[in-house]
């Protein structure tokens, strides 16, 4: 199963990228790093610079047709930059329109709000997004992982790095249900 991980060139929370990436890889999945610019992305560990990761494709080169699942890691800066990039917003919408599963953690639901895909859904996030999600028509819950099957696709959300094990498990469960 080919999984797109969509991140900005700078600001992704490293653990929220690497933990689900490793989970997908461990079961034989094919994770691919998609960004708004070619080259590499600079991850962060909270506010400190972390590792860099090579980009496999840009949003302009990517299509939901080529992937089975979309993972949106968080960090504060990462989804904030992505929601301002028309190509990142369009690619996110494309996954929803294609009925493909999407998984988002921490602040990543900001991109989902911008893409206009949260209305009528129940999800979780970093607590500061509660009002934003409610204003966008979503129901916010304080749970380590929430799987929402409203509509043709599945939306998996988690709150923070401490929830990564549950988030990864939910992503793997969705992958196995689709193979």
Per-residue pLDDT of the chain (179 residues; tens, 9 = 90+): 899 999 999 999 999 999 999 999 999 999 999 999 999 999 999 999 999 999 999 999 999 999 999 999 999 999 999 999 999 999 999 999 999 999 999 999 999 999 999 999 999 999 999 999 999 999 999 999 999 998 788 999 999 999 999 999 999 999 998 87
pLDDT of 124 reads 98
pLDDT at 150 (0 to 100): 84
Q: Which of 130, 131, 62 is nearest to 92 (CA)?
A: 62
| Nearest to 144, CA basis, from 105, 114, 172 | 105
Q: Looking at residue 113, what is its pLDDT? A: 98
Could you tell me the two tokens for 144?
């380590």
Ramachandran sector of residue 37 (left: φ over 0; alpha: ψ -120 to 50; beta: rest): beta
Which residue has tokens 């939306």? 155
Distance CA(32)–CA(176), nearest Å, equals 18
Q: Which pLDDT belongs to residue 146?
A: 98
State residue 179's pLDDT score: 75
Element spanning 81, H or E: helix 77-82
Residue 178's pLDDT is 80
| Domains of the chain and any CATH numbers | 2-177 (3.40.50.880)
Catalytic residues: 106-107
Q: Which letter does DSSP use for residue 108 in this model?
A: T
């Amino acid at each position: 199963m080919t999984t797109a991980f969509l991140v900005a060139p700078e600001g992704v929370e490293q653990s929220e990228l690497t933990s689900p990436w490793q989970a997908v890889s461990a079961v034989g999945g094919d994770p691919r790093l998609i960004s708004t610019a070619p080259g590499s992305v600079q991850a962060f560990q909270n506010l400190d610079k972390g590792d860099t990761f090579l980009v496999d494709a840009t949003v302009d080169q990517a299509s939901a047709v080529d992937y089975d699942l979309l993972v949106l890691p968080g960090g504060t800066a990462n989804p904030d930059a992505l929601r301002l990039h028309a190509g990142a917003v369009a690619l996110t919408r494309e996954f929803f329109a294609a009925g493909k599963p999407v998984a988002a953690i921490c602040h990543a639901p900001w991109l989902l709000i911008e893409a206009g895909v949260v209305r009528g859904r129940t999800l979780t996030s970093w607590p500061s997004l509660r009002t934003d999600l409610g204003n966008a028509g979503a129901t916010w819950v304080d749970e380590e992982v929430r799987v929402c099957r409203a509509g043709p696709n599945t939306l998996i959300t988690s709150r923070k790095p401490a929830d990564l094990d549950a988030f990864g498990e939910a992503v793997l469960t969705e992958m196995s249900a689709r193979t």
